[in-house]
Structure 1
Amino acid sequence: MSFELKNIETMNLSTEIVDLHNAAKKHLEHSKAENTKRAYGSDWQQFVSWCDENHLESLPATAETVSYYITYLGKEHKASTIKRKMTAISQRHKTARYPSPTKSVLVKGVWDGLLRDIGKREEGKEALWLQDLRRIVEVLPEDRIIGIRNRAILVVGWAGAMRRSEIVSLNVEDLTFTRDGLLVLIRTSKTDQFGEGQEIALPYGSNPLTCPVRSMQDWLEASGITSGAIFRGIDRHGNIKERLTDQSVRLVVRKCCEKVGLDPDNYGAHSLRSGFCSTAARAGKNEHQIMRQTRHRKADSLNRYIKYGTLFEDNPASGIGL
């Protein structure tokens, strides 16, 4: 599949076809969201840097090189991220008129095996239940700016059932504080590739520590951030840096879980989203209510969380004299 139009400068074409060619070229440029195009560019540069560090050729890359690279990525990244990085490698090769190494039998075989390992790893990630979220925020240092930031990441991400990419993409301009709570505009997400935007509501919580509205207000006040990226890096001197990456959210969750004795290997950024779903299901919230917050398009994707959250509800092994 080609991702670019042929050069028509030397072709004897009618004016109408030339105009149509130029219009089609613009449509092709707009076919992918800006975030996606930036991600592909970043993915390619990361591959080039990795090849340089390991004295391997990046363009054209051999099937062996790509196999080593995706195996390296498989240690920490999820399947969808690796797949996107493979697409970036493939597109760059096609643009340079080289065969794509990602289409080789070798890479496909390594990828199939890697998917099985990643699937097992992702299945092992546990939901972060509300009681564990409370334990974590209670030990975060409220006198340090990094503790205030991490509380906001965890509580807002959990209450909004957000994906890690959605958390780090938030800007101050996406927030609207109201009498009832906080409205958050999710501009782009996994299920909203065309950027139509989805708004979610975060109500005030009864506990100030786990209240998403107060947590966000505390972070904005402590950081002094008034526009642009909300969640940013912090150096060891407490200086606010650039926007966090989605990998940073995974590390924040793991480190915070470890502080209260939870095995960090069992938790990741997705634990916030699955924790909300499971907790809401156990609290008796119906499928429609949960989907409104999670923005799931299909109930099938949500059912496993609901099932997990209600396993002990009306359980046949309860109340029989055990």
Structure 2
Amino acid sequence: MDKKHFLSAQLDIDTLAACLTKQYSNNSLISFKNDWNNFVEFCQLNNVIALPASTTAIRIFIEKQAKVKKLASIKRALISISHIHTAFEYKDPTQSIQVKSSLGKIRVDKVNDNKQTEGISSDMLDELKHQLFNSVELKDIRDLAIWHLMFELLLKRGELRDLQLDDICFNDETNSCLVQIHQNYYAISEETTELLNRWLQHSNIHDGHLFRAIDRHQNVAVNGLNDSSIYRIFRRANELLNLEINFSGLSARVGATKELAQRGYSIHEIQEMGRWVSPAMPNQYIGNTERSERQKSVFKTKKA
């Protein structure tokens, strides 16, 4: 194994799979890859070595991750880091007393981690558009497009993060737009098409990631958004609306699910629209907790 591949934040699935001693599903490999690349990026930004990683680096990493991610995601990231260190026969730094102690504190802080995510609604989106539509600030133009697109297509954070300009297909004659997600195309409304068009016109993006960070001088970054950026974009919506609730990167997905259910869509229709492999999560989002837990149990049994 060539260690240099693992010191880049561009590790691919095939290289990762070849280094692991056990076989994992493609979804697990994608998660491991994303976790590791995220950790390497953190190490690069802080000028520390990712492999082998120090106990201090991992402790600080998970403490920062705890600000924007759930406990389950943090624990999975530690598993990913552990797997790669083990593959290279390095001592596993995730098993240190310092890291375990830090994880214990995070666990206590996140006792309400399973609390239902607050959903953003179409009325809230209308209010945000009313506030920001006439703005020429790039951040306002970008965020409006993100909020509406994520709501309309029930996007996951990762789906938004991975969207490329090539995934967007405009039809100027009909003023319509198709968005490609996982080999499928989804039509979006004229309103969201207009917001997306405004973002592309003002950002001057011609290829690569569709949505990107913007600095205080209105410069658009080359790389795409990360989970922390998406979290801040939704926290900003919360501040603009002056609400006593906290949005997260899932808020558009949750809110859209609730509104679709209220409009009469069936759970299985919503499941298909949101690209869920099981109806468990849409059931949870609309409050069918008992049914959601049964379906989660069935899904786990099938996977086993």
> What's the TM-score once normalised by structure 1's chain length?
0.69
- Which consecutive unaligned segments of at least 5 residues does structure 2 have? 3-13, 289-304
Residue pairs, 1:4-153, within 5 angstroms: 28=18, 37=33, 39-44=35-40, 46=42, 59=52, 61-62=54-55, 66=58, 70-103=62-95, 111=103, 114-115=106-107, 117-118=109-110, 120-121=112-113, 123=115, 125-144=117-136, 145-153=138-146
Post-superposition Cα deviations, 1:264-318, rounded to whole Å, max 9, x if no partner, equal: x61111111101001111122221221122111111221022337xxxxxxxxxx
In structure 2, do the counterparts of structure 1 residues 174 and 68 end up closer, same or farther at CA, with 3 Å as the change threshold? closer
**CA–CA distance in 2 between the matches of 1:281 and 1:104?**
46
3-state DSSP of counterpart to 1:184: strand
**CA-CA distance at 1:116 after TM superposition:** 6.0
**CA-CA distance at 1:92 after TM superposition:** 4.1
Task: Specify the alignment match of 2:156 in structure 1.
Answer: 163
3-state DSSP of counterpart to 2:286: helix
In structure 2, do the counterparts of structure 1 residues 35 and 214 end up closer, same or farther at CA, with 3 Å as the change threshold? farther
**CA–CA distance in 1 between the matches of 2:198 and 2:256?**
22
113-122 vs 156-165, greater mean Cα deviation? 113-122
3-state DSSP of counterpart to 2:264: coil
**CA–CA distance in 1 between the matches of 2:150 and 2:16?**
36
Task: Specify the alignment match of 2:283 in structure 1.
Answer: 303
In structure 2, do the counterparts of structure 1 residues 45 and 267 end up closer, same or farther at CA, with 3 Å as the change threshold? closer
- The residue type equivalent to 2:164 in the other structure is N
Percent identical among aligned pairs is 24
- Which consecutive unaligned segments of at least 5 residues does structure 1 have? 6-23, 187-196, 206-210, 309-322
**CA–CA distance in 2 between the matches of 1:238 and 1:105?**
44
**CA–CA distance in 1 between the matches of 2:165 and 2:15?**
34
**CA–CA distance in 1 between the matches of 2:92 and 2:67?**
23
**8 Å contact 1:253–1:268 — kept in the other structure?**
yes
2:207 aligned to 227, 251, 255, which one? Answer: 227
1:282 aligned to 262, 265, 268, which one? Answer: 262
Q: Which is greater in Rg?
A: 1
**8 Å contact 1:136–1:257 — kept in the other structure?**
no
**CA–CA distance in 1 between the matches of 2:105 and 2:183?**
36
In structure 2, do the counterparts of structure 1 residues 151 and 96 end up closer, same or farther at CA, with 3 Å as the change threshold? same
3-state DSSP of counterpart to 2:110: helix
**CA–CA distance in 2 between the matches of 1:259 and 1:151?**
12
Aligned length: 267
Task: Specify the alignment match of 2:241 in structure 1.
Answer: 260
**CA–CA distance in 2 between the matches of 1:27 and 1:293?**
31
**CA-CA distance at 1:129 after TM superposition:** 1.4
Task: Specify the alignment match of 1:272 in structure 2.
Answer: 252
Task: Specify the alignment match of 2:189 in structure 1.
Answer: 204
